[in-house]
Amino acid sequence: MAEENKEMPQDLSRRKFLRNTGYTVGGLAVGGIIGSLIPWKKDQTTNNPPPPHAENFNQALMYFTPEQFKIVDAATERIFPKDDNGPGASDLGVAFFIDHQLAGDWGFNARDYMQPPFYRGEKVQGYQGRLKRRDIFDIGLREIDNHSMQTLKKSFTELSGDQQDQILKDFEGDKVNITTISPSGFFQMLRSATLEGVYSDPLYGGNRNMDGWKMRNYPGSQMAYADVIEKDFTKIKPQSLQSHMNHK
């Protein structure tokens, strides 16, 4: 019944990506847009060798500009950083996850009530704006960079980790002066989306290699726990929804 997991392939190195995709322009080494399309900071020191078929076609942008992508990649990494427990948001593909989510129903608030009139409400009445999540991200990311430039004279992605934390804390604590969106509201959305990207099924582009689940010993999608429910803690090898596709 239960199939052995097929783990998601590792990402390609930057060079291999360029070679395979043929992204060269007039023989020149690519920078600019193409270069920033591959922000993956693959740690060359990891000892597991990449499996043979390593292309992950899912890792391309549906919504963000490369610049926005880099900010999201850096910011989510601060929210859920790489440490001794395992990979952080960046290696888990969280920025791709958020990009893909913004490209669909969630980004368009397709299933939210978006009819006018719009009034400022009480906090307990919830979000009352007319902006969609993708608009909020556009503004929020731009303002993250503006705030970085204003306070630290560098764009967000050039800041040190501690400095990036300071910028994010200013958003979290509403210490940024923006009128179009709520800084803390945007930060909370970014934080929730980060956790979604870390822990949702890998089919959505985050939780790469199920590493989000592995770090907390979450078994993912199992058909049954009737055998372990009465037992003490039992570690189970995780599997994703893809494993169900092998069943008829």
Partner 1 sequence: MVRKLPKADVVVIGVGWAGGIIASELTKKGLNVVGLERGKERKTEDYFMVHDELRYALRYDLMQDLSKETITFRSKERIRALPMRQYGSFLIGDGLGGAGVHWNGQTFRFLPYDFEIRSKTIERYGKNKIPAGMTLHDWGITYDELEPYYDKFEKTCGISGEENPLGGKRSDKYPTPPMKKSPSIKMFEEATKNMKLHPYMMPSANLSQSYTNPDGIARAACQYCAYCERFGCEYGAKADPVVTVIPVAKKTGKFEIRTHSNVRRILHKGGKATGVLYTDTTTGEEIEQPADIVVLTSYVFNNIRLLLMSNIGKPYNPASGTGVIGKNYAYQVIKGNAIGYFNDKQFNTYAGAGALGMVIDDYNGDNFDHKDVNFIHGGMVSLSQTGLRPIQNNPVPQGTAAWGKEFKETSLKYANRYLSVGAQGSSMPFKHHYLDLDPTYKDAFGDPLIRITFDFEEQDKNLAVFLANKCAGILKEMGADHIDSLKELGPYDITTYQSTHNTGGVIMGADPGTSAVNNYLQMWDMDNLFVVGASAFSHNSGYNPTGTVGAFAYRAAEGILKYRDKGGQVV
Q: What is the DSSP string of 60-85?
A: S-SS--HHHHHHHHHHHHHHS--BTT
Selected range binding partner 1 among 40-48, 119-127, 134-142, 145-153, rule: CB under 8 A: 119-127
Q: How far is the CB of 184 from partner 1 (least distance, A)?
A: 11
Q: Which of 49, 52, 117, 153 binds partner 1 (CB under 8 A)?
A: 117
Secondary structure element (H or E) that encloses residue 21, with its range: helix 14-21
Is 171 a residue that touches partner 1 (CB under 8 A)?
no
Is 131 a residue that touches partner 1 (CB under 8 A)?
no
Q: Which of 7, 67, 135, 201 binds partner 1 (CB under 8 A)?
A: 201
Is 85 a residue that touches partner 1 (CB under 8 A)?
yes
Q: What is the DSSP string of 123-180?
A: GGG----S--HHHHHHHHHHHHHHHHHHHHSS-GGGS-HHHHHHHHHHHHTT-S--SS
From the list 42, 45, 56, 41, the residue with the least C-alpha distance to 8 is 56
Residues in the site for partner 1, rule: CB under 8 A? 78-81, 83, 85, 88, 105-106, 109-115, 117, 119, 121-128, 165, 168, 172, 191, 194-196, 199-201, 203-204, 212-213, 215-226, 228-234, 241, 244
